[in-house]
Amino acid sequence: MIFRDFLTLTSSSFLAARMRSFLTGLGIAIGIAAVILLTSIGDGLHQFVLAEFSEFGTNIVTVQPGKTQTKGSNIGVIGSVRPLSLDDAEALRHLPYVENVNPGLMGNADLRANGKTRRSTVFGEGRNFSEAFTMKVQSGTFWNDADDEQARALAVLGTKVKQELFGAQNPLGQYLRIGGQRYRVIGVMESKGQILGMDMDDAVFIPAARAMELFNRPGLMEINVSYRPSADVNTVTRLITERLKEMHGREDFTTISQEEALEVLGSVLSVLTFAVGALGGISLLVGAVGILTIMTMAVTERTAEIGLLRALGAQEKQVLMLFLGEAIMLSALGGVFGLLIGIGIAQGLHLLVPALPVHTPWLFAVLAELTAVSIGLAAGVAPAMRAARLDPVEALHAE
Partner 1 sequence: MIELQNVCRTFIVGDQQVAALRDINLRLDAAEYISIMGPSGSGKSTLLNLIGLLDRPSSGTYLLDEGNVTQLSDEQQANARRDKIGFVFQSFHLVPRLTAAQNVELPMILAGIPPEERKARVQVLMQNYGLSERADHRPDQLSGGQRQRVAIARATVMNPTVLLADEPTGNLDRNTGWEVLKLLEGLMDKGITLVVVTHDAEIGARARRQIHMLDGRILSDEQTN
**Minimum distance from residue 334 beta carbon to partner 1 (Å):** 21
Secondary structure tally for the chain: helices H, strands E: 12, 12
Is residue 110 within a helix (H) or strand (E), and if so which, with residue range? strand 98-113
CA distance 393 to 399: 12
Output the smallest distance, CB 333 to partner 1, in A: 18
Residue 95 found at the interface with partner 1 (CB under 8 A): no
* Residue 198 engages partner 1 in binding (rule: CB under 8 A): no
Stretch that binds partner 1, among 22-30, 70-78, 234-242, 310-318 (CB under 8 A): 310-318
Taking CB under 8 A as the binding criterion, the range among 47-55, 246-254, 258-266, 311-319 that sits at the site for partner 1 is 311-319
| 9 vs 195 by CB, closer to partner 1 | 9
- Selected from 305, 350, 382, 386, the binder of partner 1 by CB under 8 A is 305
* Chain center to CA of 206: 32
In the bound state with partner 1, the residue whose beta carbon lies nearer, of 286 and 311, is 311
**Sole window of 60-68, 229-237, 308-316, 368-376 interacting with partner 1 (rule: CB under 8 A):** 308-316
Residue 313 makes contact with partner 1 by CB under 8 A: yes
**DSSP at 187:** E
Minimum separation from the CB atom of position 27 to partner 1 (A): 23
CB of 14 to partner 1, least distance (A): 10
312 makes contact with partner 1 (CB under 8 A): yes
Site string for partner 1, 259-298 (x = CB under 8 A): ----------------------------------------
Count of Cβ atoms closer than 10 Å to residue 311 Cβ: 12
385 part of the interface to partner 1, by CB under 8 A: no
The 8-27 site mask, x for binding partner 1 (CB under 8 A), equals -x--xx-xx-----------
| Between 36 and 294, CB nearer to partner 1 | 294
Residue pair 304/399 in contact (Cβ under 8 Å)? The answer is yes
Neighbour-count burial for 117-156, b at 16+ CB within 10 Å, e otherwise: ebebbbbbbbbbbbbbbebebeebebbeeeebeebeebbb
CB 87 within 8 Å of CB 247:
yes
DSSP lists the bridge partners of residue 168 as none
Smallest distance, partner 1 to C-beta of residue 376, A: 21
In angstroms, give the least distance from the CB of 390 to partner 1.
11
Specify whether the CB–CB gap between 15 and 21 falls below 8 A. Answer: yes
Binder of partner 1 out of 81, 271, 289, 393 (CB under 8 A): 393
Rounded distance between C-alpha atoms, residue 42 and residue 212, angstroms: 40
Asked if 353 touches partner 1 (CB under 8 A), the answer is no
Q: Is 55 in the site for partner 1 (CB under 8 A)?
A: no
Please name every residue paired with 203 in a beta bridge, in sequence order, or none if there are none: 121
Total interface residues for partner 1 by CB under 8 A: 26
Q: How far apart are the first and last CA of the chain?
A: 27
392 binds partner 1 (CB under 8 A): yes
Contacts by 129-132 with C-beta closer than 8 Å and gap 24+?
129/102, 129/104, 129/205, 130/189, 131/99, 131/100, 131/226, 132/57, 132/60, 132/99, 132/100, 132/101, 132/102, 132/224, 132/226
Count of C-beta atoms within a 10 Å radius of residue 187: 20
One of 91, 279, 308, 382 touching partner 1 (CB under 8 A)? 308
- Confirm or reject binding of residue 310 to partner 1 (CB under 8 A): yes
Pick one of 316, 345, 350, 373: the residue that binds partner 1 (CB under 8 A).
Answer: 316
Under rule CB under 8 A, residue 309 binds partner 1: yes
Binding of partner 1 by 7 (CB under 8 A): no
Q: How far apart are CA 162 and CA 181, in angstroms?
A: 18
- Interatomic CA distance for residues 278 and 299, integer angstroms: 31
Best CA proximity match to 188, nearest among 161, 208, 151, 210:
161
CA-based nearest residue to 261, from 49, 102, 100: 49
- Tell me the window of 31-39, 159-167, 194-202, 309-317 that interacts with partner 1 (CB under 8 A): 309-317
Site residues (CB under 8 A) for partner 1? 1-2, 4-5, 9, 12-13, 15-16, 304-305, 307-318, 392-393, 396
